[in-house]
Each structure stands twice: as structure tokens, then as C-alpha cells.
Chains A and B, each alone.
Chain A
């Protein structure tokens, strides 16, 4: 039987209350969001916080809305709400395509986008999406609020810029009129983490690619993205040859580890193939086909 070690627990009722409770409980306190990464880690003693500050039931942390030229998603928004969001589907189908293959419906009822970003698992799908879209994270702490580009949010596996005493409150994604987007993932079985994943957005205007983003998870892409792949495509016509060249440049920029999900050469192959498939579909939808 797996049970977490003894731990204190306090429920926060607002962002300010959560910050105060984190302060009061000291450096070994952690916030618990959906708990679907944290509780399993506590059972295995991979995490041993002294206190859990529960940020479920803080209404200001939940929701998806358009504010100016950005889509703003609260950190405590559950995977299920992202999957079924009309706002996200309208602007960026990449969200729905990625969410459909994150875990299973019951896990998606509980797990949150903020928890997923803060867990910083190298295979986290929402991290790949966030980096592809060049979104921003809003982090609030005792010394105020700061906005961090998602491409600088992750410091390495399981490590982010969020410091003790701080919480991630929302994610912001710029709206790009005319953008097409798509997500591709290969998993060993339904509901599993990806062996490799790729998600992209492309804006085609006047016959050339005027903007694009390439995100990847589980393949050792720095900050879950490939600026090399993007540079190879920018300003070019979205021909099959040019998409293939961008996918090859993307794969060359990845350095996956071999693990139980597959060997290095297989993952590199997948990075290239999945990037290519996502690019083809995103180009097609950007061109309105």
C-alpha cells in the first residue's frame, strides 16, 4: 500500500490567502493543484513536503477567456475544460488535439494546466503546446507579479522559474489571425505519456510562411521547442520539400534519452515524422483548405 508521509494541510480561499499560507508554512510547503503528479510522487517519497496548500476551489484561478489579443487560461483550469473549450478550439485546435491524448477522461477531470506546467515533466503535452505558441506565464509571489515567456519557464526536467512562496496564476497565448495549428503524438497505449510528440502553429500569408512555432515533448528539445526548425521555415513557401527540411532541422535539434518508451534513433525519427505531419495539417488549415 502506498500512502504519503505525514503532512500538514491547509485550504486556500484566494490567491492572496495561498501566498500567505505558503509564507506561514515555510520553504517545505507545496501547493497542490490536481494532485495527479504530486500525490503519486509523495507516495513514492520522491516528494516530501511538510505542508500542502490546496489551491482547488479558488475561483480566480479558473477559466478561459479572451483579453485583448490574448487567450488567458487560469492555472487551475482542468484538462477537461481545455479539451472542451470553444474559445481554444476556434483559435488553436492544437489544444483540443493535445488534450484528447493526455491521460484519460478521469485524470483529465482532475489534472490542471498549471500543475502540468509546474511539474515540468519532459513529456508534458501542455508544455510543448505552450512553447509552440510562445505563450507567457504569470507568476505571483510575495514581491509582486511577473510575466515569464513560456520558452524561459522551464529550467530543466522537473524544474521551473517558480520559486518557493510563488504560484503560477495564469497562462497567456497570443491570438494570431489566420494561424493553423496541429498536434501529433505517438503513445504506447491509450492514456500513456508520449514516446514523442510535436505541436505546431503556422501562419501562411501571400504564399509564404510569415510566422510559425514548433513545440515538442519527450524528445529532449530545449524548452520544448525548436528554433532551428522554425528558422528553416520562416519566409519560405510551404511546399512539401520545405516542410520536410524544417522537420529534419527540428529532429536534428532534439536530443532524446533512451528509456522504456524507446531508443534514441526511434524518438528522433518520430520527432521528424510527427513534426512533418503537424506542419502539413497546420499549413492546410492556415490556407483555409
Chain B
């Protein structure tokens, strides 16, 4: 089946089987390996991407269901050569170790901050509760997201 999906602003058309999962479309058809693939059971969040602006676990959505929609991946987080505040936070606060969970974690953090620019620590922990990290113990991830909240991009209007 022919699908056209806009990934990080670029239209991509492919002929795929309806059973192909979105995560495999992104990684194998497009060769974009920033989106990770972990548990395969919609638990870990490593495969998190955005579809029309909302985060989705791409191991639990078919590529054909994203036909005509806009998908965002970690490769699209930086804008105009400038890292997203969330990416800066992960660098500044040592928010990753092995990095397996990081792309999904950062997309979920971005989505959360877009809806709640000043989350409490509890809200951050609840917000990333669908993203599992086996390395960090979450403390530095929470700090990274707090950093991003406190240091928004200059284009973002501080509330």
C-alpha cells in the first residue's frame, strides 16, 4: 500500500505492507535510526515519536495509520542548527548513560513541556512514566527536564 508520511517536515512516500509497524518504517524503510526500538510491547517508550503533534509509541501503530500525517522524531528536535532546550538539558545535567531511552525520553519531555511549561517534579515523573530507563535512576533525567523548563529557547515566550 502506498503511504506518504511527512517526517520532520519532509514528505516520504513508500509502498509498504499494511502490517508494517511505524517504528520499522522509520528505522528500516527510511534508515533513520534515532528512533529506538526496545520492548516491542508498548511498555518502554524507546520508540516514542510524535504523530500530528502528540506522542505515540511507534511500535504500537501501523505505518499505514500514519498515512497523510506529520511524524516527528529525535532527528527533528534541533531547529536551525540549535539544539532543543531539552537536548541541552540532557547534556548539561548528564541525563543519559547508555542512551537507549534518550530519544523517546526527550520527545516525551518536549511534548510535556509544550503542554505544561513549568511542571513540578511530580508532574515530570508522571509525564515520563511511560518511558523506562535502566541506567540513570531518573534523577538526572528529571533534572534535565527541569533545566529545559528553566532555559526555554529564546523563541519560546516565557510565561
Contact = CB atoms under 8 A, between A and B. Distances in A.
Interface of A: 1-9, 11, 32, 35-36, 39-40, 42-43, 52, 54, 56, 80, 103-107, 109-110, 190-191
B130 A110 contact: no
B60 interface: yes
A39 B126 contact: no
Nearest to B112: A105
Interface of B: 1, 17-21, 24, 40-43, 45, 48, 54-57, 60-62, 64-65, 67, 108, 112, 126-127, 129-131
A233 B27 CA distance: 57
A22 to B, nearest CB: 16
Contacts of B61: 35, 39, 110
Given A9-B64, A110-B57, A110-B61, A105 B1 contact: no
Contacts of A54: 64-65
Contacts of B55: 105-106, 109
Contacts of A32: 62, 65
B65 A35 contact: yes
A39 B41 CA distance: 9
Contacts of B60: 35-36, 39-40, 110
A196 B126 CA distance: 21
A105 B127 contact: yes
Contacts of A105: 55, 108, 112, 126-127, 129-130
Contacts of A1: 40
A106 B62 contact: no
A8 B64 CA distance: 11
Contacts of B126: 105, 190
B45 A106 contact: yes
Contacts of A106: 45, 48, 55-57, 108, 130-131
Contact of B62 (A5, A9, A40): A9
A40 B17 contact: no
Nearest to B50: A109
A209 B107 CA distance: 48
A43 B40 contact: yes
Given A32-B65, A40-B42, 7 more contacts: A1-B40, A9-B64, A35-B62, A35-B65, A36-B42, A110-B56, A191-B130
Contacts of B127: 105
Contacts of A103: 130
Contact of A52 (B18, B21, B41): B18
A11 B62 CA distance: 12
B96 to A, nearest CB: 19
A11 B130 CA distance: 28
B79 to A, nearest CB: 23
A270 to B, nearest CB: 22
Contacts of A190: 126, 129
A56 B54 CA distance: 14
Nearest to B104: A106
A87 B20 CA distance: 38
A9 B40 contact: no
A107 B130 contact: yes
A3 B21 contact: yes
Contacts of A80: 54
A187 to B, nearest CB: 11
Report the 3 A-B pairs with minimum CB-CB distance, sorted nearest first.
Answer: A104-B130, A9-B18, A106-B130
